[in-house]
Amino acid sequence: MSTPQTIAVIGAGLMGHGLAQVFGSAGHPVRVYDAQPAALASLHERIAANLESLGRPDDFRHLVSAHGEIADAVAGAGVVLEAAPEKLALKQQIFARLVELAAPEALLASNTSVIPISEIAAGLPTAGRILGTHWWNPPFLVPLVEVVGTAQTSPATIEAMLALLTAVGKTPVHVKKDVPGFVGNRLQHALWREAIAIVAAGIADAETVDTVVKASFGRRLAVLGPLENADLVGTDLTLDIHNAVLSHLDRTPGPSPYLEALVAEGRLGMKSGQGFRAWTGETAAALRRRVFDYLKAYKG
Ligand SMILES: NC(=O)c1ccc[n+]([C@@H]2O[C@H](COP(=O)([O-])OP(=O)(O)OC[C@H]3O[C@@H](n4cnc5c(N)ncnc54)[C@H](O)[C@@H]3O)[C@@H](O)[C@H]2O)c1
C-alpha cells in the first residue's frame, strides 16, 4: 500500500463514488464534492451497496467524507480527481477553481472520457500538474486507467500518478498523445461504428451483431489484444485480410444517420425500453447483473 494521501473527488456520480471507493478501500482519506446535495447524501449508501455485492466489509467509511463546498473537499488534497459531467465548459470552470484552490503541488486529473486534456487546461497556469486519468466503469472492478499528459504535463506528474494508481491495485497505462478518445474509446467506438453500419445496411440485426462479438473474438479479447492476435495469425495474413476488407468498412466521418434517427425517435436504449434492441426492466437488470458478476469473477 502507498503512504496515505488525501484524495479529492469532484463529482459524486457513477464514476466519482466508485473512485472514492477505490481510494478509500486502499486506505487513503477521500474528500468528495458534488454540486447536488442528493449525490452527497447517497454517497456512503452507494459505496456500501457495491461492497455488499462484492461480499466485502464496509470498513473504510470513516475515510470518505462528503462536502458541499469545493474548497473544503480540495483542502489539503495531494491529488484531485474530477468526475463531473462530460461538458467542456463545465470542466474548464472546475479546473480554473482547482488551480486557485488546490495546494500548488497537488496533481489535478480529469476523468473525461474523450475530451483532450489540453482543452480542459487551456490557458490555466501551472498546467504541468494537470493530466487525464480515464477510468472505466465500474472503477472498482475494471483495472485499466489511461493516464494522459498534455504537452505541458510534467514527466514527474505522470510518474507520480502511475505510481499511485499501481499502488491502489489499478493497471495504469501512459497514453503519449492527448488525442480525443485516448486509446480505449477510439478502439471501442471504431467497433461500435462498424456494428451500427452493419445493422443500418441490413447485413445482420442488432442481436446477431452482439452474438457475433460475444461468441467469437469477444471471448478472447480479455486475454488476447488485437496486436497480439495479429502477430499470432501473422502480419502477412493480417495484410491480406486488410487488403480485401478495409475498403468495405464504414468510413462515415460523423455519427451514423441510423443512430441519429434512433435518438430523434426517443429510442434511447434501456432507459426508454427500446434502442437498437428492446428492453424491459427485468432484461435490463439481468444484463447489468451479468456484466457485474462477470467482472467480479474475472477480478478474482
Ligand atoms: N459513466 C462511465 O462509464 C464513464 C466511464 C469513464 C469516464 N466517464 C467520465 O466521467 C465523468 C463523470 O461521469 P459519470 O458517469 O460519473 O457522470 P454522472 O452524471 O453519474 O455524475 C456526475 C456528477 O457530477 C455532479 N456535478 C454536476 N455539476 C457539477 C459541478 N459543477 N461540480 C461538481 N460536481 C458536479 C453531478 O451532480 C453528478 O453527481 C464524465 O466526464 C464521463 O465522461 C464516465
Can you point out the beta strands (E) in 170-295? 171-175
In this structure, which residue's CA is closest to atom 37 in ligand 1?
36
Q: Are 30 and 60 in contact (CB under 8 A)?
A: no
Three-state DSSP class for residue 26: coil
State how far the Cα of 11 lies from the Cα of 116, in Å rounded to an integer.
19
Query: Ligand 1 mean position to 170 CA, how many Å?
Result: 20
Question: Which three cell numbers, joined as nine digits, stand for 231?
Answer: 502477430
DSSP bridge pairs for 110: 82, 132
In this structure, which residue's CA is closest to atom 31 in ligand 1?
35
Sheet arrangement for strand 144-149? 64-67, 30-33, 7-10, 79-82, 107-110, 130-134, 144-149, 171-175
Can you point out the beta strands (E) in the chain? 7-10, 30-33, 64-67, 79-82, 107-110, 130-134, 144-149, 171-175
Determine the atom of ligand 1 nearest the C-alpha atom of 93. 31
List alpha helices for 26-116, DSSP H.
Answer: 37-41, 43-54, 70-74, 88-101
Amino acid at 90: L
- In 3D space, the residue among 150, 275, 135, 154 whose CA is nearest the CA of residue 209 turns out to be 275
Three-state DSSP class for residue 215: coil
Q: Are 128 and 152 in contact (CB under 8 A)?
A: yes
Three-state DSSP class for residue 31: strand
**Residue-level pLDDT at 1:** 58
Q: Is the peptide bond before 257 cis (omega within 30 degrees of 0)?
A: no
What is the DSSP-derived secondary structure letter of residue 284? H
Query: Domains of the chain (ranges plus CATH)?
Result: 7-175 (3.40.50.720), 184-265 (1.10.1040.10)
Q: Which helix (H) or strand (E) holds 82?
A: strand 79-82
Residue of 134, 154, 247, 248 marked active site: 134
Mutate to test the pocket of ligand 1, among 111, 112, 115, 292 (most ligand atoms within 8 A of CB): 111
Active site residue 146: yes
**Residue-level pLDDT at 77:** 98
Residue of 174, 185, 189, 256 marked active site: 185
State how far the Cα of 146 lies from the Cα of 172, in Å rounded to an integer.
6
State how far the Cα of 216 lies from the Cα of 212, in Å rounded to an integer.
6
Mutate to test the pocket of ligand 1, among 97, 113, 147, 189 (most ligand atoms within 8 A of CB): 113
Determine the atom of ligand 1 nearest the C-alpha atom of 39. 39
Residue pLDDT, tens place only, 42-92 = 999 999 999 999 999 999 999 999 999 999 999 999 999 999 999 999 999
What is the DSSP-derived secondary structure letter of residue 78? S
Mutate to test the pocket of ligand 1, among 32, 34, 46 (most ligand atoms within 8 A of CB): 34
Residues with CB under 6 A from ligand 1: 10-16, 33-36, 39, 83-86, 90, 94, 111-113, 135-137
pTM: 0.95
Amino acid at 145: V
Q: Which residues in the chain come in under a pLDDT of 70?
A: 1, 300
Residue in the structure block whose three cell numbers are 498523445: 177
